[in-house]
Amino acid sequence: MDKTVNQKAWLLVLPVFLIVAFSAILPLMTVVNYSVQDTFGNNQFFWNGLGWFKELLDPSTDLGSRFFASLWRNLLFSGIILAIEVPLGIVVALSMPRQGWGVAACLVILALPLLIPWNVVGTIWQIFGRPDIGLLGYVLNHMGFDYNYVSNDFDAWATVVVMDVWHWTSLVTLLCYAGLKSIPDAYYQAAQIDGASRWAVFKAIQLPKLHRVLLIAVLLRFMDSFMIYTEPFVVTGGGPGNSTTFISIELVKIALGQFDLGKAAALSLVYNLIIIIVCWVFYTVMTNAGADRQANKGVA
C-alpha cells in the first residue's frame, strides 16, 4: 500500500514532536553543556573542552577505568541474559496450551512479573535470596552451598541474572506466543502429513514465523538490560565491591552521589551514543525485513 506524500501530516506529528523534544532535547542540551565544563562548586563553571571525554575514554584514569569496567560488565550481563531468556522464552512459549482455561491462567501468571515495580522486583529477590530469612538462600545454604549475595561476587551475579530471567523471560514468551498463535492450523497439519519431526516443524514453520517478534524481543531485552539500574541497585547496591555496578549505577553514583556533573555528562553522552548506534542497527535490520515482506506481497 503506497502512502501519499502529504507535508501537512507534520501537523499531526507536531504535538508528539514537541513533547518528546521537550523531554529529550532540552535535557540533552544541558548534558552537553555540562560535559564541556568543570566546576569547583558555587555554581561557577569553567570551559573544559573535551577534557572529560578524554578522561572517560582513557582506561588509565579513574573515570575511564570505571567506565570501561562497568561497560564490559554490562555487556557481559546483557549477553548472559539474552543467551538464557531468548531460548527459555521460546521453549516456554512452545509449551503453552493453545486453548482452554489454561491459556488465560498461564498468560496472567506470565505477565505478573512484568507489572511489578522494578524496585519491588529487587525487594522480592532481596528477601527471597537472603540466607537468614529468604527461602532460596536458606535452602541453598542448607544444601551445603555457601550462598550469600552480599559478600560473594559470583553469588551476587547469579542472583542478579536469575532475577532478570525471572523478571523478563515472560516478555519473550508472550511475544513468541503471540507469534505462534498467528500460524494457521493448516501448517501443522501439512507438516504432520509431510512426516516432519518435531524439530523440523520448529525449524521450518515456527522459527521463520517468530523471526520478527524475536527481533523485537532481542532489541527490547538488550536495551533494557543495557540500562538496568533499579533491580540490582536494590538487591546488591552494585556490590560486593563494584562487581555488579552496571553503567547506569555508575552514572547515578557519579551524578547524584558525587555531583561530578562534567564527568557524569560525558559518560551520559557516550552511553547514549552507544544505545543510538545499537538501536539504529536493529531498526535497519527490522525495516529491511519489513521491506522484504512488502516486496514478497508485491510479487504474490
Q: Interface residues for other proteins in 59-118 (CB under 8 A)?
A: 88, 91-92, 94-96, 104, 106-118
User: Of the two residues 60 and 209, which places its CB atom closer to other proteins in the complex?
Assistant: 209
| Nearest one of 251, 221, 246, 226 to 236, comparing CA atoms | 246
- Which of the residues 183 through 212 are near other proteins (CB under 8 A)? 184-190, 192-198, 200-201, 203-209, 212
Q: Which stretch binds other proteins (CB under 8 A): 15-23, 40-48, 56-64, 148-156?
A: 15-23
Q: Is 181 in the site for other proteins (CB under 8 A)?
A: yes
Q: Is 175 in the site for other proteins (CB under 8 A)?
A: yes
User: Of the two residues 79 and 87, which places its CB atom closer to other proteins in the complex?
Assistant: 87
User: Of the two residues 60 and 100, which places its CB atom closer to other proteins in the complex?
Assistant: 100
Length of the chain: 300
231 in Cβ contact with 121 (< 8 Å): yes
Tell me the sheet residues that pair with 47: 37
Residue 28 neighbours by CB distance under 10 Å: 15
To the nearest whole angstrom, how small is the minimum distance from the Cβ of residue 40 to other proteins? 18
DSSP secondary structure letter of residue 3: P
Distances (CA, A) of 193 to 83, 181, 203, 270, 288: 34, 20, 16, 55, 34
Q: How far apart (Å, rounded) are the C-alpha atoms in residues 154 and 177?
A: 33
User: Of the two residues 1 and 40, which places its CB atom closer to other proteins in the complex?
Assistant: 1
Applying CB under 8 A, among 276, 281, 285, 289 the residue interacting with other proteins is 276
Q: Which stretch binds other proteins (CB under 8 A): 3-11, 52-60, 75-83, 143-151?
A: 3-11
Locate 153 and state its grid cell. 561476587
Q: Is 143 in the site for other proteins (CB under 8 A)?
A: no
Q: Is 12 in the site for other proteins (CB under 8 A)?
A: yes
- Phi, psi (rounded to 5 degrees) for 129: -90, -15
